């Protein structure tokens, strides 16, 4: 009798459910980090210590990547099982887990991208303080003068 290392459908389904719950929690935590970053982006940018990924954030991202890989592997095993048995309910469940994987992967990539964009924007606009004025007083004066001239010109145009 040949021994197989494949798991039963129930084991696969249980494994997929466990990973799904883990991903829900971890991706929610990662999204919360992204939201917290946007709230703290009003702080003054420090060129010597730019905002970088924290160890917790990195660890969470690695955990999510590992869980996504685990879910993908489980889906592959489920696919092999469904191809052998051709049970419609199992096929429907397999499709559901494919969609769950796609949704989690998309949400994680979107959160990661958003977090990176916020860091880049903070770095790009880092010399601006939270009240909207730069540290360059002369430039602010020129910009204010330009706004006044533009306002006068548009008012004159509307009168004519």
Token code pair at residue 38 = 């946007």
| CA–CA gap between residue 14 and residue 30 (Å, rounded) | 24
Token code pair at residue 116 = 């990176």
pLDDT digits (tens, 9 = 90+) for 99-134: 999 999 999 999 999 888 888 887 777 655 545 556
**Helices (DSSP H) in 41-136: which residue ranges?**
55-85, 88-124
- Asked if residue 76 lies in contact with residue 45, where contact means CB atoms within 8 angstroms, the answer is no
- Asked if residue 155 lies in contact with residue 84, where contact means CB atoms within 8 angstroms, the answer is no
Domain boundaries, the chain: 9-126, 136-160
- Helix axis angle, 9-40 relative to 55-85, nearest 10°? 150
CATH fold group of domain 9-126 = Methane Monooxygenase Hydroxylase; Chain G, domain 1 (1.20.58)
- DSSP code for 47: S
- What per-residue confidence (pLDDT) applies to 5? 60
pLDDT digits (tens, 9 = 90+) for 8-37: 989 999 999 999 999 999 999 999 887 877
- Asked if residue 6 lies in contact with residue 77, where contact means CB atoms within 8 angstroms, the answer is yes
* Cβ burial, residue 88 (10 Å; 0-12/13-18/19+): exposed
- pTM comes to 0.68
């Amino acid at each position: 009798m040949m021994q197989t290392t494949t798991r039963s459908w129930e084991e696969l389904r249980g494994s997929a459910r466990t990973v799904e719950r883990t991903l829900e929690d971890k991706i929610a935590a990662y999204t919360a980090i992204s939201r917290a970053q946007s709230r703290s982006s009003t702080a003054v940018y420090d060129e010597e210590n730019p905002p970088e990924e924290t160890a917790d954030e990195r660890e969470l991202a690695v955990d999510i990547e590992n869980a996504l890989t685990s879910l993908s592997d489980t889906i592959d095993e489920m696919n092999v099982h469904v191809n052998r048995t051709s049970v419609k309910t199992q096929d429907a469940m397999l499709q559901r887990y494919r969609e769950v994987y796609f949704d989690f992967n998309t949400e994680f990539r979107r959160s990661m991208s958003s977090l990176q964009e916020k860091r880049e924007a903070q770095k790009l606009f880092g010399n601006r303080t939270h009240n909207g004025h730069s540290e360059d007083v002369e430039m602010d004066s020129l910009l204010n003068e330009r706004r006044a001239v533009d306002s006068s010109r548009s008012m004159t145009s509307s009168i004519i």
